Amino acid sequence: MDRRQFVQHAAALAAIPAVGRFAGLASPASSQAKPLTVNGARLNGWLAQFDQIGRTAGGINRVAYSEADLAGRAFTKQLFAQSGLQLRVDTAGNLLARVPGTDAARRPILIGSHVDSVTDGGNYDGPVGSFGAIEVARSLAEQKVRLRHPLEVVVWQNEEGGTIGSKIAVGLMTPADLDKVARSGKTVREGIGLIGGDVSRLNESVRKKGDIAGYIELHIEQGGLLEKANRQIGVVEGIVGLRWFEITITGFANHAGATPMDQRQDAMLAAAKFTVAVNEAIRGEAGRQVATVGRLNVSPNTTNVIPGQVVLTVDLRDLDQQKIDRFTATFEKLGRDIGEATRTTFAFNQLVNSTPALSDARIMDVVASSATALGLSHQRMPSGAGHDAQEVAHIAPMGMIFVPSVGGISHSPKEFSRADDITNGANVLMNAVVGLDRVL
């Protein structure tokens, strides 16, 4: 909404007693009740200010543990403070604040995202959900809405370097992970020290199954589905599982001039046939599964020699684990068949295997009904990209809210989401939190 609409809207809302609105929302019987709304101008103002931090000629560069990341975290800490949220930095370096609930026995509902970026990225991937969560907590307090559950706002550290902060929080970090070098050139171990954590006490930040009542993350879509379908809100069904293969195709390197066409064992030809076959297999079935042959190392990679060996990679993703298993078997069979036809051999090596993280049905329902109550068009969809929510899913019910990415672009300086869409997303988050507080 524009400034004028916003002022009108805020005035209209101010005329309604906060308690009445909350009570109305809390009771399914009175569906006429006006849904809650955040201060969208304030939220988008924060994002505009944040756009100055880590901006370079190439884009936003707030890679984890860099000077710009530290500046971004300092800005975020200020937002916590000015929003009346008591900040705590856990031993992993995650930023946290807890608003007590009315029922001391209840586990917290968590909302949040991250503020670090990729190299030459944009200003929306992460900050929208982080600042959106701060804005929701602040608006709930301003509108005197008390939840039964404690509400925790969390900004996970180093999402782009492998969901490090959330991984630590669910106890999935290994000592070897700590020695991984982040894009800033610092190891995760060094980085955690730098941002106020303590690697020797990481276990204090670990939460167990049952410690969190639910987690909702607002995020930009990073794809073009919503824009293409002309929908305002994505109700995320889950984060797709991912399998990476490295496949070594072995033929025989020989003279490109002296070897007749019917006597060749051309690994490149086999790789080409396999690449096409993978694409056709994936597209030959209804669904949202995707597979990509993304890397090809050809040997000897010379103009006048028949390629003797090709190493290629396949990236396979879907929300359904059985489908991933089935396509894995299909690809292996394609390798055997093409190998036979081209007199080459295919050797499969699995590099990465992450299982799909499915959203909680109750959270999807409260997100969808919040969007409906706000008059926003929405659709259910998978997330093709990884998020902190996939880590939290190991120990708690989770869900995500997507807002459109213009042109479907992200991890790019061209990444952009409209202010109205961001406000819509935060409004959905606010009502979803209240709805979840009721159903859990």
Q: HSE on the CB side for 318, CA within 13 Å?
A: 19
- Looking at the Cβ atoms of 158 and 423, the one nearer to Zn ion is 158
Q: Element (H or E) spanning 425, and its range? A: helix 419-439
CB of 166 to Zn ion, least distance (A): 11
CB of 189 to Zn ion, least distance (A): 23
CB of 388 to Zn ion, least distance (A): 8
CB of 389 to Zn ion, least distance (A): 10
- Looking at the Cβ atoms of 125 and 152, the one nearer to Zn ion is 125
Phi, psi at 437, each rounded to 5°: -55, -35
What residues contact residue 20 under an 8 Å CB cut-off, 6+ apart? Answer: 33
Work out whether 388 is an interface residue with Zn ion (CB under 5 A): no
Work out whether 126 is an interface residue with Zn ion (CB under 5 A): yes
In whole angstroms, give the CA distance from residue 96 to residue 155. Answer: 7
- Pull the structure tokens for residue 239: 């984060």
Q: How many residues bind Zn ion (CB under 5 A)?
A: 2
Work out whether 152 is an interface residue with Zn ion (CB under 5 A): no
Q: Nearest 10 degrees: CA dihedral of 363, 368, 372, 373?
A: 10
Q: At what angle do helices 321-342 and 267-283 cross, to 10 degrees?
A: 150
- Looking at the Cβ atoms of 125 and 237, the one nearer to Zn ion is 125
- Do the beta carbons of residue 357 and residue 318 sit within 8 Å? no
CA distances from 251 to 138, 273, 341 (A): 64, 14, 12
- Do the beta carbons of residue 428 and residue 367 sit within 8 Å? yes
- Looking at the Cβ atoms of 126 and 404, the one nearer to Zn ion is 126
CB of 222 to Zn ion, least distance (A): 7
What residues contact residue 352 under an 8 Å CB cut-off, 6+ apart? Answer: 242, 243, 244
- Looking at the Cβ atoms of 99 and 400, the one nearer to Zn ion is 400
CB of 72 to Zn ion, least distance (A): 13
- Looking at the Cβ atoms of 127 and 397, the one nearer to Zn ion is 127
- Looking at the Cβ atoms of 125 and 415, the one nearer to Zn ion is 125
- The footprint of Zn ion on residues 213-252 (CB under 5 A) is none
What residues contact residue 158 under an 8 Å CB cut-off, 6+ apart? Answer: 64, 65, 93, 114, 116, 164, 165, 182, 188, 191
- Looking at the Cβ atoms of 35 and 126, the one nearer to Zn ion is 126
- Pull the structure tokens for residue 389: 């929510």
In whole angstroms, give the CA distance from residue 307 to residue 30. Answer: 71
CB of 7 to Zn ion, least distance (A): 32
- The strand pair at 59-60 and 95-99 is best described as unpaired
- The footprint of Zn ion on residues 106-125 (CB under 5 A) is 125
State the binding string over 70-109 for Zn ion (x if CB under 5 A, else -).
Answer: ----------------------------------------
- Looking at the Cβ atoms of 385 and 440, the one nearer to Zn ion is 385
In whole angstroms, give the CA distance from residue 33 to residue 116. Answer: 38
- Looking at the Cβ atoms of 126 and 356, the one nearer to Zn ion is 126
Residue with tokens 């029922």: 103
CB of 278 to Zn ion, least distance (A): 28
Helix (H, G, I), strand (E, B), or coil: what is residue 318?
strand
User: Cα–chain-centroid distance for residue 241?
Assistant: 13
CB of 221 to Zn ion, least distance (A): 11
CB of 126 to Zn ion, least distance (A): 4
Binding positions for Zn ion, rule: CB under 5 A: 125-126
